[in-house]
Structures are given as C-alpha cells and as structure tokens.
Chains A and B, each alone.
Chain A
Amino acid sequence: MPETKTRREETTRPESPEDRAPDAQASEAQGEPDREAQTAEKPKLSDEERLQGLEPDKLRRIAYDMLLARRFEEKAAEAYALGKIGGFCHLYIGQEAVATGAIHALRPDDYVMTAYREHAHALQCGIEPNAVMAELYGRADGCSKGKGGSMHMFSAEKNYLGGHGIVGGQIPLALGVAWKIKYRGEDRVMQVYCGEAAVNQGAFHESLNMAALWKVPLILIVENNRFGMGTAWERASSLYDIYRKAGAYAMPSAVADGMDVLDMYRVTREAVERARAGEGPTLIEARTYRFVGHSMSDPVSGVYRTKEDVEKEKANDPIRIYADLLARVGILSQEELEKMDEEVKALSEASADFAEKSPEPGPDELYTEIYAEENVAGRLYFDGRR
C-alpha cells in the first residue's frame, strides 16, 4: 500500500472536462424536487469518465481507505459492546465514500475539521489507526492523549482540526481557519463537514454569510444522511435541498452522490480548485445514508426507520459499488479486494491490541494542558485539590 501521506493528493490533477462540472448554478433551480430526483441529476458518466484519469494506485488506495474505515469501526463497535470504549460513539458505516472521496481531493497541508462522527475523517487525514483506537479506549497513546475520546480526535501534525461535539459549532471555527489562510496569504483550503441537521443552526447561516462575503477558501460538506439522530430531514427542514440554501448567500453549491466515492472526489475537486483560485467558498450537499444507529446506544432501525428501509439502502453500499467498478475496469480483482480486506482487518485488530496495552493517562494528567502555562501568578484551579 502507498504511504499514509499519499491519502491526499500531492499534485494537481488535469482539468476536468466541462461536462463534468458540478452544478454550480443548481442553487438557482426552481421548485422543490425530492431527494431521488435531485440525486438523479448526477451526470451519467461512463466507467472511464467516472475514473477521471486517476492513477490505478490512487484508485486502489481509495478502496483501501474506505475498507479500513469500515473494518476499523466494526472492530470499534465490538470493543464498545465489550465495554472497552465508553461514552458516545458515533459510527460512520455507510457514509465512508463521503470523507474518503472528499479528503482525497486535498493536499496534506490543507485543513480538515468535522463534527463528532469522525473516526473515518481522522484516519483519512493520516492519523494512525493505533492512535485513533487508543483514543477511543481513552489511553495515553491516543491522538488526543485520551482526553478527547470518540468525538474529539485531533492531529496538529496532519492538519486535522477535530472532532467537535456541538452540532454546527465547528462551522464558525472552520470559517476562522479559512479566514486565517486568507489573512496570511497561504495556498491552502479548509474543508469542513457537518451533518444535515446542523444546517438548521444559526452557526451554519452566520458562517455561510461571512464565508461568501469575504470569499475565503472554505469547502463545507453537508453529510445528508437523512436523519438528525431520529428526526427525518423532511420533518426538520422546510426545504429539502440543502445545497439550495447556499443561494441565500450567493455562494456556489453542488450536490454530490455520497454513496459514490468518485462523485465525491469529482465535486470536491471542483470546489477545491475554485477555492485555490481565490474564488471563495462552496457548499456541497453529499447525499448519503448511515447503515448503523445514530450512536452505539441507538438501534439500527426501530422508531424512526424500518429494517426494510435500511436493507434497501444497503444495496447502495459505497464500498460494494466502488469495488464493482474497479473490478469491471480491471484495476482491482475480487481476489485483490479480499486480500486488501484481510489486511485492513488485521490492522484494525492490531489497533485494538495496541489500545489494550496502552496505559491509561495517570492522575497527574488531570491538570495538564488546560492552560498554556501552569506556573502563573495567581490561582487557576479552585477545587482545593492541588
């Protein structure tokens, strides 16, 4: 497998053919088409066109990354059931194409930030599976030293800016990072994710307005998995089409098929190129679906969706769709896929062993890293324990 750092693009890809341009004007569409009608707007492309001239190594790497996210989380779910992982734990199973495709369109020096359904994003940015699993276990070798957990993974080195737990709260933060890029005149972009339910928060609208007003290099990807916890999107928004909300801020937007990793890559690339060219932010609505409950404490189906609903969507498994394509074009055979699967399973297994052996943070860690400097004038803590 290629090195971790190649998970993000190192070089500029050739121009896309015009007919593949995302629907930047889609926000001007009339009426309120339903979900199926909108997703069907995805351009009808041949296999060849879908591959966008990407190198076979990169295409295989994308398969590997999606597969790793899936197997890693299956292992995490197992560990959670055994009580080895605590707290809230939100799995990404079913949505892997979104972050995998979108982060592959970035360079290593670009920034990524998301909400709390973040294990795949953290892995995709190059944090080692061992460090992600150790964080889930709350251990000292975790990527946040065991202080963040499932919802607060970070890596300054990989430009992965977390893991945020308040719905929509990360969007203004990402706006600030994009603003910093502009302030310093850097050649970078900020890619931030939120769920569709976050779109109803004021933070989303305030940020879109300023991002468009100041033309900062922000790419906001809304992962529309159709449920804010147990509330169907149709029951939470007066307008189904999230990408159209960008129109209120004169911001370009597009819909991407969040079950198709190459469509995610294609649409994100367009937005990244626009941002790098100084043309400002883009809103991308990624239509996806989670095959698992909202968190580990939520059953896969029940009060808000039926077992049949979920089974029907599983026919669109993003890994299956992609593997079939690669097999068809002769880039990844069934045997190679199985070998790859064994490899990521072993890696996930090893990460759990690593986490198991990693020490818990010691009691002396309780008061570290809260302030920059502990030896200051005056008292910082008032619990009488120090």
Chain B
Amino acid sequence: MAVVTYREALNQALAEEMERDPDVFLMGEEVGVYNGAYKVSKGLLDRFGELRVVDTPITELGFAGLGVGAAMTGVRPVIEFMTWNFAILAFDQIFNSAAKMRSMSGGQFKMPITFRGPTGAALQLAAQHSQALESQVAHYPGVKVVVPGTPADAKGLLKAAIRDDDPVCVFEGEMLYNMKGEVSEDAELVIPLGVADLKREGSDVSIITHGKMIHVALQAAAQLEKDGVSAEVLDLRSLRPLDTDAILNTVAKTNRVVLLEEGWPYGGITATIAAMIQEEAFDELDAPILRVTQADVPMPYAKGLEKIAKPSAELVIEKVNRVLYR
C-alpha cells in the first residue's frame, strides 16, 4: 500500500485501465495539454497520445453524445466533465441516450461508458458551481452512480466503472482531490459497484451517507463518542445499484437512523432510503428517521450564508440527539 492523494488514485485508475484495454480513451475539456482542470489526467497525454486523451471544445452536450455513440459501437469512453454542474448541458445525452439505449433497442447495444467529474460545493463558488447532483442522476433507471469518498474507493470504483458494460456516472469530491489515503498498487483491485462500506462501527445510531459527507459523519461520530454515543457510519459508495442489505443490517443493529447527503432534500437519495427503510424495516425502528441535507436553496456566495447552507457535523449531532431522544 502506498499513500497517495484522491487525485493520484483516480489518475492511477485511468492509466491502468488505458494500459489494460486499448478501447479505453479519455475525452473532455482540458484533459490533455492542460493535464486536467483538477490535474486528474496529469501525464496521460504524454503517455497515451492525442488519439486516446482528447481535448474537446467547450461543448458538453456534443462530447457526451459523442461518447455515447462511440460506446454503442464498441469502445469504452471515459468522458470527463470539468464539473457535474456543466454536465447539466449534457443530461439529454446521459438520460435520453445512454440510460435508454440498451432497453429501447431490445438489448442490442451495450453502453460501456463512464462519465466522471467533481460534484458538490467547494468554497464560495456560488449557486451554479456548488451543486451535488448525484441524487438526480440516480433517479434514471439505466444508469449507475458511484460517489467515492476516499482515495482507495476512488481508484477501485473508477476502475469498476470503466470495466462495466453500463453507463456509470462517477461523482468525485471537489474538496477531496488533495485528500491522502492508503491505496493498493494492485492493478486488478476493483471495488464492485453496489457494495457499501462500513466506515465506522457503532451501536447506538446509524449515520448513512456517501461521498464527501462521510467525513462530516465521521467528525460527528468522533464528537458523539466523547458524549458517550456510539455512532455507526455507513458509506454507501454506490447509489445505483444501492446496497440495501447493508442499510437494513445497520438499521437492525442500531434501530435509529440519520441520513446525510450533500444535495437538496427534495427527491434526494435520502428520501428514497427513508421510504425504503420504513417499507421494509419499520418494526426495527425505535425513532423516526431524520435527515441532514443542504438547505433547500440555491447556494449563496456569502461566506457565512454558505456555511449555514451546507450540511455540518453540528447538524448531524443535533439530529442524532433527536433520534436518541436526548
């Protein structure tokens, strides 16, 4: 194991998969000469050449659709969005083409494409650059969605995404690129989609979350421990497929649940999970399920407003105390 950053872990995943399979190529804005807007593709142009590391014009709908058409006829594109905010321009191609091609062709065309880029709020980037869109994308049957929260997960999940024959959307944490962690050097270490990871064991309450928010949850859990509360933190890693067994197991273990996501509450993945738990494990619950999400507003620019709009460890602790009737 070596300690590398989340950014380097993604870079390793791309390089290893491109090395392994000549059909894999990377396309997006600034991925080549500039080495990536967030330097995730650093060195790849030199290593693989301009046929396989392709700088595009700023034309998200166009190059997303290009990837879908290419995937339909047998190659394995990795389409990088500079951020998922800009991918909104490409949603027609993700939702209307990639998600539906297999189904509406009666299974004749596979769709081995990966869409990836950073999600969520960074610091004071204001309304249009601060959105966590993974719940919206997971809404569409036909796509898969993963949201890695650590360097090891980033590498293993991106490799799984590239090898998958379905369209996989990888939501990277914009604030996680510099985060360091232990990452395997084994080029065959792939983390299967749809498998959650227990990031912390506990017995009093389950905090279920994904992506960057696992660090907020872990921070809250550390604080709660000082208060004598044992919180379990379940990292979903993948939103579709969703590891519902892992969710039901932790619910059965602690009987109390706080759901945490970076995005908005309306129609968010936490709403889906809350519905699922009450449908399938109502008798296991000792308290209502509570949620922590971003404030239900477009992200404001002002530092103080942004701070209170984002989910925080304080908000998580407050909700944990409520489900524990403390």
Contacts and interface: CB of A to CB of B under 8 A. Distances in A.
Task: Tell me, yes or no, whether A binds B.
Answer: yes
Interface of A: 111, 113, 142-148, 152, 154-156, 161-166, 169, 171-180, 183-184, 202-203, 206-207, 209-210, 213, 368-373, 376-382, 384
B164 A372 contact: yes
Contacts of A377: 192-195, 241, 243
Contacts, number: 175
A378 B67 contact: no
Contacts of A165: 96
A177 B242 contact: no
Contacts of B282: none
B202 to A, nearest CB: 22
Contact of A183 (B75, B103, B144): B75
A152 B62 contact: no
B166 interface: yes
B97 A164 contact: yes
A368 B107 contact: yes
Contacts of A371: 102, 142, 144, 166
A299 B196 CA distance: 55
Contacts of B276: 382
A143 B194 CA distance: 32
A172 B25 contact: no
A203 B62 contact: yes
A379 B241 contact: yes
Q: Interface centre among A144, A165, A174, by most B CB within 10 Å?
A: A144
Contact of B69 (A175, A209, A378): A175
Nearest to B247: A379
B109 interface: yes
Contacts of B164: 372
Nearest to A204: B62
A370 B141 contact: yes
For the residues of B in contact with A, the DSSP-based class is: mixed
29 contacts: A111-B73, A145-B107, A148-B104, A152-B104, A154-B105, A155-B108, A166-B96, A169-B65, A169-B97, A173-B66, A173-B93, A173-B97, A175-B69, A176-B67, A176-B71, A176-B72, A178-B69, A179-B69, A180-B75, A184-B74, A209-B57, A210-B59, A368-B107, A370-B142, A371-B102, A372-B102, A379-B242, A380-B240, A382-B276
B66 to A, nearest CB: 4
A372 B103 contact: no
B1 interface: no
Contacts of A213: 57
A256 B193 CA distance: 50
Contact of B65 (A145, A146, A161, A171): A171
A144 B104 contact: yes
Contacts of B297: none
A376 B244 CA distance: 12
B69 A180 contact: yes
B241 A378 contact: yes
B106 A177 contact: no
B92 interface: yes
B193 A376 contact: yes
A213 B104 CA distance: 31
Q: Interface centre among B74, B92, B193, B272, by most A CB within 10 Å?
A: B92
Contacts of A180: 69-70, 73-75
